[in-house]
Structure 1
Amino acid sequence: MTILAFLKEFNFLMFLLFALMYSYQIFYMVVALKAKKNKSPKMQNVHSHKYAVIIAARNEELVIGQLIKSIKNQNYPRELIDIFVVADNCTDDTARVAAKAGSVVRERFNKVQVGKGYALNYMMNIISNEYSSRKYEGYFIFDADNLLEENYIAEMNMMFHQGYRVITSYRNSKNYDQNWISAGYGLWFMHEAEYLNLPRMALNLSCSISGTGFLVHANLIKENGGWTHHLLTEDIEFSVSQIINGEKIGYCRNAIFYDEQPETWIKSWHQRLRWARGFYQVIVKYGKDLVGGILKGKSNWFSCYDMIMTIMPAMLVSSISFFIYGLFSLGIFLDVVDGAKNIQLIYTDMVKSIGWYYGLLFIIGFITTITEWKKIHSSWWKKLAYTITFPLFMFTYIPISIVALFINVEWKPITHTVAKSLDDVR
């Protein structure tokens, strides 16, 4: 077999591997499009449960006041919502601003146990020890840069009343129209909400939380012994651990919140490098149990498979293909006889492969943009333009996923500066 023939077969096998791994997500999109045609259920008069809202904040004096304001403006009984802020290793006025806005504030200074997971556990212990008489039934978890639509808590309360012990929500963007980077994040989070979590709900499977904007039953936290998830991606670690334990995570599409996306390459690089490294950590820690759930044929076996595909670094698999092409092209380049001709053929195949991947990602972004058009707060031409740049944003995960394999990554805060109110976002 010639080198060119090998590369063609290798390319076909890689494409087949991707098809086998992720074709179910195409089915998800079909299910989602059908589910989106159904009218969303109207809010019903159900029992109003009591909640503690927990916000882990580090140097967030610019944005935290707007989040607390949006919580206080909820169409929900105010006496049933208490706001707790843990000012985690802050060097600014986050604690003062949060307290002035009307929240219970505790400052935490710990340079060893660094990360959101530790901050959440710190505040949950305080609530358990100092506020046990208030008998909170659930904990809302938000980041300081979030903003909530007025019916957010009421919508989440409806699903909580149905028996779900973990519920995630619709993640929108405060600064979608800032540039192609912030739009890339925002478009993916919308796709994740409506084309991954929505079909999971329709198929009675478990959903997955995404960083922020979720609700956890107080009993579940008590059963777990607090917030015990401290990997670099504590959100996906929490999701995976709950699915392994048989918990079914719900998705409330009518509960909409907004968060700020990184707008510079440096911020985005550091954040997604942490995510990629965190995904590797989750694979190492929970991969065996996820595979075991599949092989043992448990009732949640497909959710286990779904989570493996979620944390599986797809871009890393893609990069293997490009690496092989590059390796052989270098070898052929050194061949003084037929090198130039063979390199041209190799690069032609590589460009075709990139084109296929670009096309697939463009379709995903385009469908999401069209169906979520009214929820995207941006000019019409930017909405269309960012569907073109969306695949490029996703391609940037390739170098990130490779670098994350070889370097030690530590949790670092992302600076938030978009101090918008809910009306400003709209």
Structure 2
Amino acid sequence: MEIFLYFEIAFILILFQSITLFYTLYQTGISLLGMFKRPPKSLLSPLEMRYALFICAHNEEKVVGYAVDSLNALDYPKEWYDIYVICDNCSDHTADIVRAHGAIAMERTDPTRQGKGYGIAWMLHQLWKLELLNDKRYDAIAIFDADNLVETNLLNEVSSKLNEGHEVIQVYLDSKNPNDNWITKAYAASYWTTNRVYQLARENIGLSAQLGGTGTVMSSRILKKYGWESTSLTEDLEFTTRYVLEENKRVAWVHTAKIYDEKPLEMKVSYRQRLRWMKGHFDCATRYSTLLLKKLLRNPNLLTFDVLVYLWQPSKILLTLGSLGFSLLSQFNPLPLLIQNWVLNPWIWDATLSLYYAVYLVAFVLEKKSSKILWFFHSYLFSLTWIPIIPIAFIQRKEKTWTHTKHTRALKKEEITL
């Protein structure tokens, strides 16, 4: 009986070890491809690419003026873009400030359908009407949040991607306030490494980047064809998944232009924000996995497979804790020697963990953040706070109550210190 018990334990350990190893090695393998940058292509002429720039705002009077000023300062012909601020169910002076800074305030009131996704869907309907009335056509729409600041080269870099034939693009996301406290340092470290080892790596090998909720650019053709039906709590992830499913094309990544996004200063604010993200993530995973799997079975390809893996990939902290747990167990393997080489082999886990951590540390160096490398430990400590969020989010995945993240860091672009 004892030998059967050993084999039962071995089977369970092999199963969980295989899952953990697959996700860890899969992501590490792709991440290694983000260690290099392709030689930059020469920027293509904008070819009079015209943009409607959307800023999504709900009671953002403290920061929205700076966002408008940042977009007004773009190094791009002013007659080729217009700034529309979606003043969504605002009860403050957001709309007045928008007009004072030279943008177009589009005021929406609908207390029953609140959230960024609904606001964007409404704004697109208004935009298509304006196009007909004013005989003006936009080639693409870019979406920003009210707390964002942008680098002046943004539309030039995006235009080059559009001219290459891409129709959905994500721009590099950076932190506007990384030095405020240990929480913002953790956010910044996580974004820097993710941009390198996830987004750039996939750009390098022709896989899809993930939309980041802001700094997203989409061609008018795509939006007119499909509309904006992505009204989940993570409309960015939902749109990415639908785009890959229905167009069999990837989201392109721009590593050479940045958007600066405000990170939460308080844990309770961060907790609410991340709980919303994870609820939306699990909601998308449960709704779209079957469709992705069917598509994959009909037409096996790495693009679809990678999106499916992402939807069900354990969070970084669960992956790290799982790997650490197996690594520690491997040092004191309680199983018979006969199967010890196949289950909890210390050589496997030592090599896996070393490579896993090395990739993220090298990413700091390549992103020219060597002086901030100790922030990796802030990021690791912060990642532990994901542990209670994940099971709660899975249980509440069908709940779609939108919660607004309040922004208070009113900064100009030149005041950002990285």
Range of TM-score over shorter length: 0.7 to 0.9
Change in Cα spacing, 1:4 to 1:402, as seen in structure 2 (3 Å) is farther
* Cα drift, residue 32 of structure 1: 1.4
In the alignment, the residues of structure 1 paired with residue 379 and residue 317 of structure 2 have an alpha-carbon distance, to the nearest angstrom, of: 19
Deviation at 1:422, TM superposition (A): 0.8
**Residues in 2 aligned to 1:361 and 1:180: alpha-carbon distance in whole angstroms:** 23
CA–CA separation in structure 2 for the residues paired with 1:229 and 1:307: 17
1:327-375 Cα deviation digits (max 9, x unpaired): xxxxxxxxxxxxxxxxxxxxxx9xxxx999987775454222221125x
Indicate conservation of the 8 Å contact 1:187/1:365, yes or no: no
1:134 is paired with a residue whose SS is: coil
Contact 2:317–2:383, Cα closer than 8 Å, also in 1: no
Q: Percent identity?
A: 27
Equivalent residue, structure 2, for 1:399: 388
Please list, as runs of the form range in 1=range in 2, the aligned pairs for 1:34-73 lying within 5 A after superposition: 34=36, 36=37, 38-73=38-73
**CA RMSD in angstroms, aligned pairs only:** 2.7
Change (3 A) 1:356 1:418: farther
Change (3 A) 1:98 1:318: same
Q: 1:138 to 1:289 in 2, by over 3 A?
A: same
1:81 equivalenced with 2:70 (yes/no)? no
Instruction: Note the 1:103-142 alignment, pairs <5 A.
Output: 103-132=103-132, 133-142=135-144
Q: 2:31 aligns to what?
A: 29
Question: Which residue does 2:379 correspond to in 1?
Answer: 390
Preserved contact between residue 232 and residue 400 of structure 2 (Cα < 8 Å): no
**Equivalent residue, structure 1, for 2:415:** 424
Q: Which amino acid aligns with 1:221?
A: L
**Counterparts in 2 of 1:268 and 1:122: CA distance versus 1, 3 Å:** same
Question: In 2, Cα distance between the equivalents of 1:196 and 1:137?
Answer: 28
In structure 2, the CA distance between the partners of 1:5 and 1:180, relative to structure 1 (3 Å rule), is farther
Task: Note if contact 1:138-1:217 (Cα within 8 Å) is conserved in structure 2.
Answer: yes
**In 2: Cα distance, 1:258 partner to 1:101 partner:** 19
SS of equivalent residue, structure 1 residue 373 = coil
Task: Name the CA distance, whole Å, in 1 between partners of 2:405 and 2:243.
Answer: 27
Q: For the residues of structure 1 that align with 2:400 and 2:202, how far apart are their CA atoms?
A: 32
Q: What is the 5 A alignment of 1:282-361?
A: 282-298=284-300, 301-312=301-312, 314-315=314-315, 318=318
Q: How far apart in 1 are the matches of 2:352 and 2:382?
A: 12
**Residue number in structure 1 paired with 2:233:** 232
Which residue identity lines up with residue 106 of structure 1 in the other structure?
M
How far has the Cα of 1:265 moved from its partner?
0.8
Of 349, 358, 367, which residue of structure 2 is paired with 1:372?
367
| Alpha-carbon distance in 2 for matches of 1:356, 1:7 | 24
Query: 1 CA distance for matches of 2:351 and 2:93?
Result: 49
Cα–Cα, structure 1 residues 357 and 281, in superposed 2: closer, same or farther, change >3 Å? Answer: farther
One-letter code of the match for 1:372? E
Q: What corresponds to 1:341 in structure 2?
A: none
Report the counterpart of residue 97 of structure 1 in structure 2: 97
SS in 2 for 1:254: strand
> Quick check: 2:169–2:254 contact (8 Å CA) kept in 1?
yes
User: In 2, Cα distance between the equivalents of 1:46 and 1:131?
Assistant: 21
Q: Residue 40 of structure 1 aligns to which amino acid in structure 2?
A: P
Deviation at 1:8, TM superposition (A): 7.0
Distance 1:127 1:253 in 2: 29
| Residue of structure 2 aligned with 1:410, choices 397, 401, 407 | 401
Match in the other structure for 1:250: 252
**What are structure 2's unaligned runs of at least 5 residues?**
326-343
Post-superposition offset of 1:4: 8.7
Aligned equivalents of 2:352 and 2:273: distance in 1? 24
Aligned length: 386
Q: Which secondary structure does the structure 1 equivalent of 2:374 belong to?
A: helix
Cα pair distance change 1:46/1:405, threshold 3 Å: closer
The 2-side partners of 1:253 and 1:140 are apart by 16
Distance in 1 between the 2:110 and 2:357 partners?
Answer: 44
Question: Quick one: which amino acid aligns to residue 399 of structure 1?
Answer: P
Structure 2 CA distance, aligned partners of 1:45 and 1:85? 28
Question: 1:312 and 1:70, CA in 2 relative to 1: closer, same or farther beyond 3 A?
Answer: same
Deviations 1:129-180 (A, max 9, x none): 1233110110001011111101011110111111111011111110112223
Instruction: Pick closer, same or farther for the CA change 1:268–1:29 going to 2, 3 Å.
Output: same
